[in-house]
Chain A
């Protein structure tokens, strides 16, 4: 973390508390399921990308790291409970990608000139969501190959693991951009 200077400290405290809030929201989001064609939609990754939309990059990533620690330490915050044993699940890659996605979203949206533009936020959020899916798919491929000695074509996994979730991702990216912008305006984070 960067060194604190005068006047900067209260901004950092605010980011710290908000990061804690996003850790909690990500945990709750895993359990909010909305019925949607093909696969049910959970709000978990929505909160992950929202943390990127609203926080500084380091804090966005840390909020997700904290979520992972919470789950790995055994609190039932993952979709199927929690515990260190979760690392052994072949689908752990989707969780592992959350900090990276939050960081990338925050970086991307700060890159543009106008960090409040709806299309800019939408683009960064969508990129983050696709990153989660692809990272998780690649992890799943290697977990199946080396963990269980089963080779499935990577193309197949990406096809099933990403394309099916794309409509949901588009919707979530739009929600993240829309909600993120109205909260940014109201609270001036």
Chain B
């Protein structure tokens, strides 16, 4: 669970770059446009264009390549299945035939498998770029601003964003508390190995106190918020104001152009 400790930073890679300085709303909108473009493109030429573009953006963001590509790992089996399915189940020019199962690999299948996996990989890379270059607090701020129109449909956007912010604060505290409780139990002679039943029973003196202390903390926080007259999102102002600047407009126009171009091709 060690990596959860720095969850308040998420994957955020803090350097100063053109991509980092963009308004988080710009980045969210641009990513959605690029993803739409990716989802409608099936041609190898267009996809290789996107590949070059993604490498360019990574270089521009000054985030090391390995941090970006690390995000592809959880999808590895999905790539393999995608390639496998297309490899054997597409009809066309036969390249090779497997002797025992009598399945044939076709040229078209190879190409389709490659295109589908490349598309998936590009989607993952662009999504990763967003979180690598934007801190979670910036993201929640942007989300609150962008979701605001949904309030008309009685969606409680302020409440949702407040929960996000609160949980970002709670996660490190809870982990710290769990570690403390674990050490406290160990110092009293508790063990966390042995048979299944034993391990299960050793979890209870960990979970119950964790719950009680977490609830007490939440209770105090709610009281503190109430005594400072917290009354929901209505008329609330923020300390850090988001503002669009010239580069933001540039990126928005560019990504809109990219999206329409791929749809038209």
Which chain B residues lie closer than 8 Å to A10 at the CB level?
222, 226
- B159 contacts which of A16, A28, A69 (Cβ < 8 Å)? A16
A84 to B127, Cβ gap below 8 A?
yes
The answer to whether B71 and A20 touch across the interface, beta carbons within 8 angstroms, is: no
Cα distance, A62 to B7, chains bound together (Å): 21
Interface centre among B78, B136, B159 (most CB of A within 10 A): B159
- In the assembled complex, which residues on chain A have CB atoms less than 8 Å from the CB atom of B212? 183, 186
Contact of A70 among B167, B217, B225 (CB under 8 A): B167
- Pick the contact of B203 from A34, A37, A63, A67 — CB < 8 Å? A34
Which of chain B's residues have a CB closer than 8 A to the CB of A76?
3-4, 7, 10-11
Q: Are A73 and B139 touching (Cβ within 8 A)? A: yes
Q: Is B64 an interface residue (CB 8 A)?
A: no
Q: Are A20 and B163 in contact (CB under 8 A)?
A: yes
Contact of A85 among B75, B89, B156, B168 (CB under 8 A): B75
A32-65 vs B: 1/0 string, CB under 8 Å? 1011110000010000000000000010001101
Q: Is the CB of A148 within 8 A of B128?
A: no
Nearest A residue (CB) for B227: A10
Contact A74 B131 (CB under 8 A): yes
Q: Which of B49-57, B170-178, B240-248, B252-260 contacts A (4 or more CB under 8 A)?
A: B170-178
The residue among B136, B211, B221, B226 with the most chain A CB atoms within 10 A of its own CB is B211
Complex: A16 Cα to B232 Cα, angstroms? 10
Say whether A27 contacts B171, CB under 8 Å: yes
Please name all residues of chain B whose beta carbon is closer than 8 Å to the beta carbon of A17 when the two chains form the complex: 166, 218, 221-222, 225
How many residues on chain B are close to A (CB under 8 Å)? 63
- In the assembled complex, which residues on chain A have CB atoms less than 8 Å from the CB atom of B200? 34, 36
Report the minimal beta-carbon distance from B64 to chain A, rounded to whole angstroms: 17
Bound-complex Cα distance A157 to B89 (A): 22
Query: How far, in whole Å, are A186 and B154 apart by their CA atoms in the complex?
Result: 33
Please determine whether B89 and A62 come into contact, CB atoms closer than 8 angstroms.
Answer: no
- Contact partners of A183 in chain B: CB under 8 A: 211-212, 215
The interface residues of chain B lying within 8 Å CB-to-CB of A75 are: 7, 10-11, 131, 136
Residues A69 and B160 in contact in the complex (CB < 8 Å), given A75-B7, A148-B82: yes
- Minimum CB–CB distance from A34 to chain B (whole Å) comes to 6
Indicate which residue in A34, A35, A70, A80 contacts B164 across the interface (CB closer than 8 Å). A70
Given A13-B222, A31-B1, A75-B131; A24-B74 close (CB under 8 Å): no
B98 vs chain A, min Cβ distance (A): 18
Contacts of A82 in B (CB 8 A): 131
Partner of B163, one of A25, A35, A66: A66
How many angstroms between the C-alpha atoms of A111 and B78 in the bound complex? 42
> If the complex has contacts A34-B203, A76-B3, are A65 and B170 also in contact, measured as CB distance less than 8 A?
no
Chain A interfacial positions (CB closer than 8 Å to B): 1, 4, 9-10, 12-14, 16-21, 23-25, 27-28, 31-32, 34-37, 43, 58, 62-63, 65-67, 69-70, 73-77, 80-85, 88-89, 148-150, 179, 182-183, 186-187
Residues of B within 8 A of A (CB): 1, 3-4, 7, 10-11, 31, 35, 71, 74-75, 78, 81-82, 85, 89, 120, 123-124, 127-128, 130-131, 136, 139, 143, 154, 156, 159-160, 162-171, 174-175, 178, 196, 199-200, 203, 207-208, 211-212, 214-215, 217-219, 221-222, 225-226, 230-232
25 contacts between A and B (CB under 8 A): A9-B231, A14-B218, A16-B162, A16-B166, A19-B166, A20-B164, A21-B214, A24-B167, A27-B167, A28-B1, A28-B178, A34-B199, A34-B203, A36-B200, A65-B160, A66-B164, A69-B143, A69-B164, A70-B168, A74-B130, A75-B131, A77-B7, A84-B31, A85-B75, A182-B208
The 10 closest A-B pairs by CB, nearest first: A20-B166, A74-B131, A23-B167, A24-B170, A80-B74, A66-B163, A1-B156, A24-B167, A14-B222, A85-B124
